[in-house]
């Protein structure tokens, strides 16, 4: 048995071997034993990160939060910082206010604000926006009294489970959506943004190695469509594998 550990950054890792590892003719199998990273899957992408806020004089202001990984509190902090820098005296004196909060029991957001809020662009009535990610409908949110809240019509979708497939270029494991799968492991990300992901299967599953020699291993973190997940490129990923001689019936 041979232990292989790959460290790198982002959703695709490659390790080259010289000399190549000899695996014979259909005689070896591979399994994932450990995966460690941080949940930096981008859940507020480009195009879903803008909003318009309108004051009592009907002056419109547009703000954009950077594409990234957020929970509701972090989105609130970004928006509040931008607004309060635009109106420092008014926020300090309480004439302007903005509060976005989440109820973790109902998974619904609520807003209290001195502004009229339009998430996304005014002429867009379909498609995802920052508002729909937070559970709000496409219609504008009217100004509320201070400490009075408008609750979202739906649940927020910032910490939904992410279905992740760890694929490897030297194994075949079956099919996903009618395409050949090189899947080595599958898991759900159900932790908050910024929290450690640690996967250690209690019963590792070994898959047949399809190469007689392994001169490189490429591991990809993919979604069910076979695309790389939107993990930030500077996110460190560590994956440990075990390579062993094949045991009949186990791969």
Domains and CATH numbers, the chain: 2-42+160-245 (2.60.120.1100), 50-151 (no CATH)
What's the confidence (pLDDT) of residue 179?
63
* Mean pLDDT of all residues belonging to the chain: 89
What's the confidence (pLDDT) of residue 193?
84
Q: Is 154 helix (H, G, I), strand (E, B) or coil?
A: coil
Q: Which of 77-91, 156-170, 192-206 has the lowest mean pLDDT?
A: 156-170
For residue range 44-103, what is the model confidence (pLDDT) as tens digits? Answer: 988 889 999 999 989 999 999 999 889 899 999 999 999 999 999 999 999 999 999 999
For the chain, percent of residues with pLDDT exceeding 70: 91
For residue range 136-157, what is the model confidence (pLDDT) as tens digits? Answer: 988 899 999 999 999 999 988 8
Pairing of strands 150-151, 174-176: unpaired
What's the confidence (pLDDT) of residue 112?
97
pTM: 0.75
What's the confidence (pLDDT) of residue 161?
55
Please list the residues that pair with 36 across neighbouring strands.
198, 238
Question: What region does 159 belong to: left with phi over 0, alpha with psi -120 to 50, or beta?
Answer: alpha
Q: Does position 251 have pLDDT exceeding 50, yes or no?
A: no
CA atoms of 39 and 17, how far apart (whole Å): 29
With cut-offs at 50, 70 and 90, classify the pLDDT of residue 160.
low
E strand or H helix that includes residue 93: helix 88-93
Q: Nearest-CA neighbor of 151 among 98, 111, 120? A: 111
Which is more confident, 205 or 251?
A: 205
Q: In 10 A of CB 138, how many CB atoms?
A: 14
Q: Does position 115 have pLDDT exceeding 70, yes or no?
A: yes
């Amino acid at each position: 048995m041979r232990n292989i550990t790959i460290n790198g950054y982002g959703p695709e890792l490659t390790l080259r071997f010289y000399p190549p590892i000899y695996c014979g003719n259909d005689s070896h199998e591979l399994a994932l034993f450990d995966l460690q990273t941080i949940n930096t899957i981008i859940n507020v992408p480009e195009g879903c990160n803008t909003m318009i806020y309108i004051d009592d004089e009907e002056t419109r202001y547009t703000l954009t939060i950077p594409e990234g990984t957020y929970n509701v509190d972090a989105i609130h902090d970004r928006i509040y910082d931008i607004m309060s820098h635009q109106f420092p005296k008014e926020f300090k004196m309480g004439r302007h206010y903005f509060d976005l909060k989440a109820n973790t029991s109902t998974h619904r957001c609520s807003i209290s604000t001195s502004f009229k809020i339009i998430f996304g662009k005014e002429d867009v009535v379909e498609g995802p926006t920052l508002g729909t990610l937070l559970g709000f409908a496409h219609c504008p949110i009217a100004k509320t009294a201070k400490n009075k809240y408008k609750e979202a019509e739906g649940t927020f979708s910032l910490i939904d489970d992410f279905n992740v497939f760890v694929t490897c270029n030297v194994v075949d494991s079956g099919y996903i959506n009618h395409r050949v799968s090189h899947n080595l492991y599958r898991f759900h990300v159900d932790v908050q943004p910024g929290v450690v992901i640690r996967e250690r299967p209690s019963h590792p599953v070994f898959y047949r190695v399809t190469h007689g020699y392994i001169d490189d291993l490429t591991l990809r973190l993919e979604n069910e469509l076979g695309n790389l997940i939107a993990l930030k490129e500077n996110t460190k990923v560590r994956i440990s594998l075990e390579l062993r001689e094949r045991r009949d019936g186990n791969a």
